[in-house]
Amino acid sequence: MQFILFWTFFKIGLFTFGGGYAMIPFIHQYAVEKYKWITDDEFLDIIAIAESTPGPIAINSATYIGYKVKGVSGSALATLGVVLPSLIIITLIAAFFMQFKDNVYVEFAFKGIRIGVAVLVLNAAIRMYKKLDKKLLSYFLILIGFLLVLFELLPVILVIVIGGVIGIIYQLVKARGEEV
């Protein structure tokens, strides 16, 4: 059982390209449909928890499902499984990449690729913007985050915490308004 848990998350780590959200269907397929480690409802809970806690969704869901199946040792095995493919592949690439980075054609290609990456980040920002609640407070916070970090006025962590505190105050004031 413990080996299956490790191996399943190893496969999930190995076959998902392009970040955490690409993993969700795989996780559902194995953990809910094939091995029945968790129910559909629990799966939805895990996604909600993974989205409300820091860290990559892949790690969060591996830890949670591993715990459900086999306690703390299960969560350690599942997390190790999902991390190991990256650790191995990227270490190999890092060793390999060093030999090619001074090649002039590689540098030409990467000059283009950096522009592609700027587009990827811009699209990620647009995608996340579309998922937000469109209320006045959101626009204000977007502007705050944008300007403070663009002009390097405050450290990123502080800006994130300020956003969170404003969010809590807003929710508490709103809740009190509804009580009255």
Within 49-108, the residues that bind another protein by CB under 8 A are 49-60, 63-64, 67-68, 72, 75-76, 79, 82-83, 85-87, 89-91, 93-95, 97, 101, 105, 108
Smaller CB separation from another protein, 1 or 115: 115
Least CB distance to another protein at residue 166 (A):
5
Q: Applying CB under 8 A, which of residues 2, 4, 20, 70 lies at the interface with another protein?
A: 20
**Do 145 and 132 meet the contact criterion of CB atoms below 8 Å apart?**
no
From the number of C-beta atoms within 10 Å of its C-beta (0-12, 13-18, 19+), residue 3 rates as exposed
| Residue 7 is a binding residue for another protein (CB under 8 A) | no
Interface with another protein, residue 116, by CB under 8 A: yes
CA 56 to chain CA centroid, nearest Å: 3
Give me the least distance between CB of 111 and another protein, in Å please.
Answer: 5
Q: Tell me: does residue 153 bind another protein (CB under 8 A).
A: no
Residue 18 touches another protein, criterion: CB under 8 A = yes
In order of 16, 58, 79, 150, 158, the CA distances from 19 in angstroms are: 7, 8, 15, 25, 25
DSSP line for 71-128: HHHHHHHHHHHHHHHHHHHHHHHHHHHHHHTT-HHHHHHHHHHHHHHHHHHHHHHHHH
Whichever of 1 and 128 has its CB closer to another protein, that residue is 128
In this complex, which beta carbon is closest to another protein, that of residue 1 or of residue 93?
A: 93
The region of 1-9, 29-37, 110-118 touching another protein under the rule CB under 8 A is 110-118
CB 84 within 8 A of CB 108: no
Q: Which CB atom, from 4 or from 85, has the smaller least distance to another protein?
A: 85
